[in-house]
Amino acid sequence: MAIVALTACNAKHDNPVLADSALPFGAPEFAKYQSTDYEAAFMEGLAEQRAEIDAIVAQTEAPTFDNTIAALERSGKKLAKVSGVFYNLNETDADDVMRETEKKLSPILTEHSAYMTMNEALFARVKALYDTKASLGLTREQEMVLDKYYRMFVKGGALLDAEKKAQLMEIDKQLSLASIEFGENALAETNAFELVITDEKDLAGLPQSSINAAREAAQAAGKEGWLFTLHKPSWIPFLQYADNRELRKQMYLGYINRGDNNNENDNKAVIARILKLRQQKARLFGYETFAQYQLEDKMAKTPEAAYNLLMTIWNAALPKAKAEAAELQKMMDAEGKGEKLEAWDWWYYAEKVRKQKYDLNEELTKPYFKLENVLKGIFIAANTLYGLNVEELKDVPSYNSEVVTTYKITDADGSLLGIFTTDYLPRASKRGGAWMNNVRDQYVDAEGNMVRPIIVNVGNLSEYLTIDEVGTVFHEFGHALHGLLSQCHYASVSGTSVVRDFVETFSQFNENWAFQPELLAQYAINDKGEVIPAELVEKINNSLKFNQGFMTTELCAASILDMKWHELESVDGIDIEAFEEKVCQEMGLIPEIGPRYRTTYFNHIFSSGYSAGYYGYLWAEVLDKDLFSMFEASGNVWNKELATKFRQTFLEKGGSEEPMKLFQQFAGRLPDNTAFLKRRGLK
């Protein structure tokens, strides 16, 4: 099988976004693209795929996998090309033109999707294959692809009558626009908050690195003093170290009240609209709630199964969180101020307890975790486990030359696996959080050529990382490995194209290597060239279970809140704040801890793909910790034989097999949550 589709053909095209790239490996030529190019590129891609769909339907031959399902897989290549570039850029470096383009295209793309899934003649061909798949002699991957297309058509309205199809299309249009609005509001709220300090006494307790960054931020904004924002590299150190309790409160409330300020960026009305539309959509398909609709084809299958997991974890985590709160209160009492622990105190006093219990000060670890060195760490781990090699590509400029770096990833035998781009520093144009995008999927084209992926990791990190941020880099590269190592024939099941409550397994699995002592010795090196001391490594690993009652409780609370929203049968007249407060009270969440994401800025469930699915992080962590325990049990976490089996069983397979079958194939049994509870210090 040849690997060609990454080389440039230099085909001429009026639209630079759709023209074949002259860069190595067919990398996008961002320097040639204008924001005004994308709309026309989308329209051309849509027209091309519509013609391809029409051609499939117009065939007189009986449906076969190749002339129907594989033909659908081959369709829409222009649309995939512009989408891969546009949506990555729109989340990281968008301007007003691109944002307006997204809004304008949203209903058009919804109509285009419906043109496929509501096409009765096309669905008839798909259904004929689905109904007779046992006799078609398909490979297992082809069976999974066929199943996926059938579900896509059914969930796209293929079995609905004409009236309900029209209703579904209108609901999907409105949902898409509302999701965009939610995300824009959340970003605007994050960027709008500023805490400007002019009195140097108010900086007491803050590390010099945070003070220097705040001074630079103020100067860049044309302000006097020191500027602190809600971006994580600014917000978290402030809550951890600032002695001024009133200012910590301002920063904390600024963060948790995003989207709930009764201004032009308030998200409460948007949330109510999204929830109502989702309920209407679920009912069109005969489900009582949106949660039932969403989970039917996930690993959990039902909301009840997701709840069973969440409550098992909740019942273990909440007592631990209460004990941690009591410990923090005891430290506050010792100060003799008569103050009661509040949510804005938790990070501050937890940091003090960590220093006291583990003699661990993150300001001492940060110099060893310079971002460029942590990147070396993820590459060393990938080489040790899977034999991968990494080469920086100086001749492949990306969309932001100041902060973006591109690499070529090759296998142990020198064969190309893909192109990997990193974009880790915060800026106002970038949405919050960290994520992985596919600019191009992995698949085998119609001529039998292997197309290797282009993958981007994005974050909002510091130049010198906290322990948590180190985990984030390993986490996102775990997603990247899932994409880079994919060896599927069909894009619809390649890489991370797996069910939502399975996809985080591999990102979280990769975190397990971040603080292995033998790896730290190779990448945790400060600017003086000194390797992180063994006693500091021991302190880091001893502290990894610290504060896990808090961490697990806030994550579990967000997951439960997500499920509660999507189990409602009506949101008419709903009070967003009151409902959230009621849910938190009913679950017994202590006031010193809030859900990891409050409803009004919960991007995962209102502007991303995790609606009724945020539980998937915990579901997947049970799987990942169980899998990692097998490496530990082997006596060598760098066990190459096991790593090869892991790669071949999971990372290369994508969605070409049912997740639980893959797990049982690797483990020889069903999952067990013991390793998860132990790793989080809950058992």
Hey, which residues does 408 pair with through a beta bridge?
391, 419
476 is catalytic: yes
Check: CB of residue 102 under 8 Å from CB of residue 90. Answer: yes
- The rounded distance, in Å, linking the Cα atoms of 288 and 279 is 8
Number of neighbours of residue 316 by Cβ within 10 angstroms? 20
Helix, strand, or coil (residue 589): coil
Q: Alpha-carbon distance 558 to 69, whole Å?
A: 38
Contact between 641 and 229 under an 8 Å Cβ cutoff? The reply is no
**Which tokens go with 169?**
């299309």
Amino acid at 473: V
Helix residue ranges, H only, 258-370: 268-284, 290-295, 303-334, 343-358, 362-365
Contacts of 68-74 with CB under 8 Å at 24 or more apart are 68/122, 68/125, 68/126, 68/129, 69/126, 69/129, 69/142, 69/145, 69/146, 69/149, 70/490, 72/116, 72/149, 73/145, 73/443, 73/490, 73/491, 73/492, 74/445, 74/446
Q: What are phi and psi of 390, to 5 degrees?
A: -130, 135
- What are 584's two structure tokens? 């938190």
- Would the CA dihedral through 473, 459, 213, 554 be positive or negative? negative
**Helix, strand or coil for residue 66?**
helix
Catalytic entry in 351, 476, 554, 621: 476
Query: Which amino acids are annotated catalytic?
Result: 476
